[in-house]
Amino acid sequence: MLPSHLNGHSPLARRRPRLSAVSPPATGESEEAAAAAAPLAEHDRIYFQSYSHIGIHEAMIKDRVRTDAYRSAIMHHQKFIEGKVVMDVGCGTGILSVFCARAGAKRVYAVEASEIATQAHEIVMANNLNDKIVIIHGRVEDVEVDDKVDVIISEWMGYMLLYESMLPSVLFARDKWLKPGGLILPSHATLFMAPITNSERYESSVDFWSDVYGINMSALVPLAKKFASEEPSIEIIGGENVLSWPFVVKHIDCYIFKAEELKSITTKYKVSSMMLAPIHGFGFWFEVEFNGPSDPSDNSHSVLNPLNIIHKKRRRGSDDAVLLSTAPEDEPTHWHQTIVYFPDPIEVKQDQIIEGSVTVSQSEENPRFLNIQLDCSTGGQTLVKTYAMR
């Protein structure tokens, strides 16, 4: 992860690259076909290149919440994997492919665009799984695989769920290779938001300038406010920082979702403050679920009702499907939470209504970047702010 202006974490170069061909494509793809593949856009080239760095993979694998959730999901759905064909979209080091092979998969097509595919191939050989796992070095949009697959697995989530925009690659693989009734892991994803209070954070980055070693540097306070509220901050907050029940920004069913829907997502929100406190901004986080290929009884997914999702979150028990959560009240992950700060805090009372709208859209300059427009009204005060997540 790259340093950020607020806490040492910039969004870019967090997520796994989607996919460019270490072992020769096991599918018989010709050199001519490979040469004919569309050239990479510059933003894709930089993105994939960043995932050749071992540090990114180390951070992801050492995130035990993340890695254990995927391993648990694979074992939870072993009956769908054993003896079946799996595609790992953006396999990185190949760890999820190895988990699937050890769960009994007949064949795993592990597709990776960055140069880490070379080491992934060596890892497969070192673990004597070259008869099961085929590393394909290439973008999933460019490679050819002759088989249809029974399972697609991918760790595609970026900061704020949608940053780096890898989900379209998973949907591309779904539409091209997944058999009817096949399994997608994770199956569902939900992006949440809530107003947050964080006086300590605000004081350390803004109020700090009022008195520095006895020197009045308050002339820098306006600049500090501007700087703090220009871009989202990737940091860890706790449940005590959250002022209301979370609101669902977007729920994604990976079995039916369309990539075009990612271009712009708008939702209106209305929440009630649970305490007397200043609002310093809004926090965003996500959860992903690893449900089976058909869960017809789960109406919260079929109707995408935000209230149903929140109620399900409240009553979730240990017997439910495997869940990976990046919520403030849960064990921290390398995704942390994404915070958009206001230039100035807004005081709210307990039970005060906070409402408005939020739009999350792909940047025109680079679809892997996000633009966030937040409208917030409470207690007669209104704030309209745009943030660029680059």
Catalytically active residues, by annotation:
155, 164
Strands (E), 258-363: 264-272, 277-290, 322-325, 337-348, 353-362
114 secondary structure, DSSP code: S
Phi, psi of 82 (to 5 degrees): -60, 125
Pairing of strands 188-196, 247-253: antiparallel
Instruction: Give the chain's radius of gyration (CA, Å).
Output: 22
Strands (E), 123-227: 133-137, 149-153, 178-185, 188-196
CA distances from 80 to 182, 184, 364 (A): 8, 10, 39
CB 29 within 8 A of CB 21: yes
Helices and strands, number each (H, E), in the chain: 12, 15
C-alpha 147/C-alpha 85 separation (Å) is 8
Phi-psi region of 226 (alpha: psi -120 to 50; beta: other; left: phi over 0): alpha
Tokens at 199, concatenated: 């006086």
Cis peptide bond upstream of 367, omega within 30: no
CB 89 within 8 A of CB 175: no
Tokens at 153, concatenated: 């697995």
Tokens at 82, concatenated: 């054993």
Tokens at 183, concatenated: 């399994």
Residue 280, number of CB atoms within 10 A of its CB? 26
The 3-state DSSP class for residue 338 equals strand
